[in-house]
Chain A
Amino acid sequence: MNILGETKINGVFLKHNKSTANCETKEMAIPDEVEISMSHHIGTPCIPMVQIGEMVYAGQIIGESSPKFGPPVHSSVSGEVIAIRNIAGENSVMIQSVVIKPDKQQTLWPQLKKPILKSKDDFITAVYESGLSGLGGAGFPAHIKLNVERSYIKELLINAAECEPYITSDYREMMEYPEDIIKGINLVCEFLGIEHGIICVENNKPEAIDMLKELCVNEPLISVRSLPSINPQGAEKALIYSVTGKIVPEGGLPMDIGTIVMNVTSIAELYRYITTGIPLINRRITVDGNIVKEPGNIRAPIGTKIGDIIEFCGGLTEPYYKLLFGGPMMGTSISDMGAPILKTTNAILAFDSHIEFETKITACIRCGKCISVCPVRLMPVELEKAHDSVSLKELGELSVELCIECGCCSYICPSKRKLLLKHRHSKQIMKADRQTRGEHIGTNN
């Protein structure tokens, strides 16, 4: 730890590939169909509040969760509900989606109004009504994250790390709407009684850092911190550790140690909701990868299909080998051009087969590189052995449930072993075991 309380984190240095950094956000035309999922966040999904055939407005609530855990889901377009689908389900939990045919008018819901904030509770209610869940990818409901006792939190960290290659969505937010970010920070700090707001940016975005620093000259509450461009600098626990030296305890949340982390785009959106009353109905997405004709940053309505977005970007130069939501390290692989974007989607990446070198798996040579890159200080080599021998005791001792699934271990392994896959599976086994034994410890998944 140095004198600023900054600690170096373990991780991997990746090629940034931020070729869309200077692409100004282009607003996409309203597509012919949107499919809005009822689950954009962790926890129980929302239930549709509308029926087939119903006419909905842009910004109208079309899904609410019960009990009120996740924020409500709003329609991103005005039009007619033409279908309600079941899209996925684990155990007895079914996730549905609402398919809407836009009338291209974008008529706003008459019931929308600019929130009046007289107290912290008003503020939290407003955050809930904005529909905001973490736009950085994790999807943690903002109204729960911000619902803390006044003056309990010491610092608000604004996560502008954007450590994944290719993605420049948060960078564009900083370059295009820096005042919204600053005002959003002031808003949150005022209502929650937080004394420090720290905007954390990786050092591969020098223009953004300089601009924010200039704007913060007269801001007593806000400072800008430049961080090493190492993956996964933007992972919440790693960010907190890196900037403050504090460690989130096992099973705990950042608020337990007096810190809140918010994505930089989330806080700008929050400010925009407070001033306009329009909830989260569209977002910026980086479209890149080596086979997109016109890569760039696109603002699209929530629920737009990938295919429509890629078409707006000129289409692909060849059939894709790999299509991703999110970044190459932690994103999910998609095989259906009809998949719709969620509130948490920050990028669509399409690649040809050059993205992969060899995939042949060879024996573990105990080189220990996986240990040296794990930001949470786990020992993936031992975790793999524990998984293969199905030893729950070992998995517990090795704290597999602390794994943040950043993928650095699988990335660095010379033998190309499927480490992350096994860690995920181990976590599921542990969870299932706990449920059968009737225990419950809070975890960060």
Chain B
Amino acid sequence: MEQTIKSASPHIRKNISTRKIMLDVIIALLPALIAANIIFGIRASVVTIICVISCVFFEWGLRKFFKKEQTIGDLSAVVTGILLAFNLPVKVNLVIAVLGCFIAIVIVKQLFGGIGENRLNPAATARVVLLLTAAGSLSVWTLPVVRSTADAVSGATPLSNPTPFSLMELFLGNHSGSMGETCVAALLVGGAYLLIRKVINMAIPLTYIGTVFCFAVLFGEDPVRQILSGGLILGAFFMATDYSTSPLTNTGKIIYGLGLGIITSLIRFNGPFPEGVSFAILIMNLLVLPIDKITRIKPLGKKGKAFIDIVKPTVTVLIILGIVFTVSKGIYDYVTRPAAEKNTFSQEAENAAMELLGTQSIELTSSEEYPTAIKAVWLSEYGDYAFNVITNGFGGEIEFVIGIGGENILGITVISHSETAGLGTKALDPNYLDQFAGLTSPDKVTGVDAISGATISSEAVKAGVNAAFEAYEQLLSR
């Protein structure tokens, strides 16, 4: 029996489908999942798998209940599951996580009509609801595995902790935070994959991240630090770009990105919460319909003016103004930055230097080119040096004076600190500090064990000692 088809043009179709697109997104999320396991342990995978299974189950169950066609084959529920898990801390209560999945799939997605019909981002909305109603379970911010001890001590996240992490630590994600948001490197790899596969374009990520960058400069914050912290990269590449809840046209996407950046920045720098990404996404989702209306593209040949003829130039002007303001503020801040706080040492520090060098006749040397950790350098009559060092510990800055002479560490005296009593302070005990006396090179310093329970504090001391060694080598080579 012949089978022939009589159909309307076009008679060929591109070999893509919703399922294939979702598969690309899942692949793009895998690097971040692997990173989450490395940083936070195997529980990361457990939570992710439970979220994925819950999301798929809820979608299947709800559609069966309402006798609708099954859609779990398009893998969008899987993506929602992964993204929701990425927005939660690794130690989250699993019941809470499943509740989040219910909110995301049943309430935010399916009750609105399923994929393409929902107006709010399911994962972001679920995360916000959990944050507002189950905050306690959500603020259990675990330290990463590589830092923590056997009983994981809680650590504050980069945005809520005034103690800065290094930029490399922020980039690699070696700090507390939601499971999927910390490893910027892995997320950028995933983002690049999405761009290459043409699943997303640069309009939203570039505008969103760029706007936060600019606002950071305008508010006097470190812009690079800001874009590497919190859920910005995860949000900008994976959540704000969700098709159903973002604008259709490129101009619309740019406006959307600008709005997201503004709201996130205002919440971060001027609001009560340390992080604003999820709220920003939620709020801008509500504005997508009007944005779509005013950014309709003008058909080729249509007569008359369209909204877009006004909107496009306005947005362009606003962006240019924004960049001009940001660059101006940036230059202004750089030019008027306070003079290097060198040589503003305390009397206590000078006394400690004299004691360590064994003489009262010491003189201050100029210290413009030393590592930033060094506040002041003294030279003693015997040719030995003392360094006034500031280093970042767990609870705040640690200030100490270290004497180095004849390529030997002479001793360390702590001036001030904010370390946790009984834990971090162990790293500032004379018993610990005495280990440094007599060491002759940075390798030997690194070899000194950190004290268990006071890893950060110990590492801070060691970092400061190494900075002093560096400065010492520089002085000797003069």
Contacts and interface: CB of A to CB of B under 8 A. Distances in A.
A252 B300 CA distance: 12
B300 A376 contact: yes
Interface string B276-313: 00000000000000000000111111110000000000
A357 to B, nearest CB: 5
A363 B301 contact: no
A418 B11 CA distance: 11
A365 B243 contact: yes
A420 B13 CA distance: 12
Interface stretch (A88-96, A108-116, A295-303, A329-337): A329-337
B14 A365 contact: no
A322 B20 contact: no
A285 interface: no
A187 interface: no
Contacts of A243: none
B470 interface: no
A421 B297 CA distance: 22
A410 B302 contact: no
Contacts of A192: none
Interface stretch (B114-122, B222-230, B383-391, B403-411): B114-122
A414 B6 contact: no
B477 interface: no
B397 interface: no
B139 interface: no
A178 interface: no
Contacts of B17: 358, 362, 414-416
A415 B69 CA distance: 15
A367 B243 contact: yes
A250 B297 contact: no
A381 to B, nearest CB: 6
Most buried by A among B4, B20, B114: B4
Nearest to A356: B13
Nearest to B10: A407
Contact of A329 (B4, B11, B248): B11
Interface string A400-432: 001001011011111110101100100000000
A236 B2 CA distance: 38
B9 A407 contact: yes
B21 interface: yes
A402 B300 contact: yes
Interface in A225-253: 237, 241, 247-250, 252
B4 A323 contact: yes
B8 interface: yes
A338 interface: no
Contacts of B16: 412, 414
Contact of B297 (A323, A358, A377): A377
A353 interface: yes
Contact of A322 (B5, B21, B249): B5
B269 to A, nearest CB: 32
Contacts of B248: 366, 368, 371, 379, 381-382
A69 interface: no
A329 B300 contact: no
A259 B287 CA distance: 43
A382 B8 CA distance: 21
Nearest to B3: A321
A363 B116 contact: yes
A375 B71 CA distance: 32
B7 interface: yes
Nearest to A332: B9
B183 to A, nearest CB: 27
Contact of B12 (A353, A399, A411): A411
B297 A371 contact: yes
Given A367-B243, A399-B302, A411-B14, A333 B6 contact: yes
Contacts of A132: none
B4 A319 contact: yes
Contacts of B302: 250, 399, 402
B12 A249 contact: no
A258 interface: no
B175 to A, nearest CB: 35
Given A322-B5, A376-B299, A411-B13, A368 B249 contact: yes
B307 to A, nearest CB: 11
A364 interface: yes
A355 interface: yes
A193 interface: no
Nearest to B5: A322
B314 interface: no
A254 to B, nearest CB: 11
B299 A377 contact: yes
B15 interface: yes
A358 B74 CA distance: 13
A366 B244 contact: yes
A232 to B, nearest CB: 10
Contacts of A261: none
Contacts of B4: 319-323, 335
A407 B10 CA distance: 5
Given A368-B248, A399-B302, A415-B18, A410 B13 contact: yes
B300 A237 contact: yes
A311 to B, nearest CB: 17
A381 B17 CA distance: 16
A367 B11 contact: no
A420 B6 CA distance: 15
Given A250-B299, A407-B9, 8 more contacts: A237-B301, A328-B9, A367-B243, A371-B297, A376-B300, A382-B296, A410-B10, A420-B9
Q: Which 6 residue pairs of A and B lie closest in terms of their CB atoms, listed nearest first? A: A407-B10, A319-B2, A399-B299, A328-B12, A363-B116, A368-B248
25 contacts: A12-B14, A241-B300, A247-B300, A252-B301, A319-B4, A321-B3, A322-B5, A328-B9, A333-B9, A334-B6, A357-B15, A363-B18, A363-B71, A365-B244, A368-B243, A368-B248, A371-B248, A377-B297, A398-B299, A399-B302, A402-B300, A411-B13, A411-B14, A416-B13, A420-B10
